[in-house]
Amino acid sequence: MKSNAASAVKPADEVRRRKILEASLSVFARYGYRKASLDEVARAAGISRQGLYLHFPSKEDLFRASVQYALEDQSSAASAVLADEKRPIEARLVAALNEWLGRYVGVIGADASDLIETSAELTGALMAEHQERFERAVARAIENSPLMPIYARAGLSAAQLAQTLHATARGFKHGCASREAFVENITVAVRVLGAPLRKRN
């Protein structure tokens, strides 16, 4: 009986935790780390501040968990898109870059300029790990696509192409005012990458 009761609580706790993390991402994106308050996160999540403390004892803990939640969600979505070999490689690359980098383009508030610095301080290793994982997934997709033989003849590896595309997309992420503009720009970048394939066809 005790085991059944414990297992019955877990799904509700997990749903509540996800709700808190999603609310915190919205609050941090709007106010930044320093100006974001736990009261604001609790209001956005529809719980009391004490209820928030039951899950996360400090703002630092909440921020780390929020970043990890976002990275894992973005990484999973991007990997799923890249693995769908029924879609053309260009479409997969655009969709994956959009999932990985596009979600918060245009939604970061003016007060949130400290997020990059804070993320580096509190979650630097985690961020680097997910970036490397994403690049490996992109490289695998390119390696198994018709693009690879063309670029291999030029002495370029799938890893180099993935790193270049990722760096280009990160630049667009910080330079675009909206997600729509981001997608337009990365579409151009991916089409440039795929141009030799279209020329051959």
Rounded to whole angstroms, what are the CA distances from 172 to 21, 165, 177, 180, 186?
A: 26, 11, 9, 11, 7
20-50: pLDDT as tens digits = 999 999 999 999 999 999 999 999 999 999 9
Host H or E run for residue 92: helix 89-101
- Using the predicted structure, report yes or no on whether residue 111 has a pLDDT greater than 90: no
Mind listing the pLDDT tens digit for each residue in 57-95? 999 999 999 999 999 999 999 999 999 999 999 999 999
Q: How confident is the model at residue 113 (pLDDT cuts 50, 70, 90)?
A: confident
The pLDDT, as a whole number, for residue 53 is 92
Residue 201 is predicted with a pLDDT of 61
For the cut 50, the answer to whether the pLDDT of residue 175 exceeds it is: yes
Other beta carbons within 10 angstroms of residue 136's beta carbon come to 14
Cα gap 66→22, rounded to integer Å: 7
In terms of Cα–Cα distance, which of 169, 161, 165, 189 is closest to 102? 169
Rounded Cα distance between 174 and 183, Å, is 13
Q: Which CATH number is 59-200 given?
A: 1.10.357
pLDDT at 122: 86
**Which pLDDT score, from 0 to 100, does residue 114 have?**
87
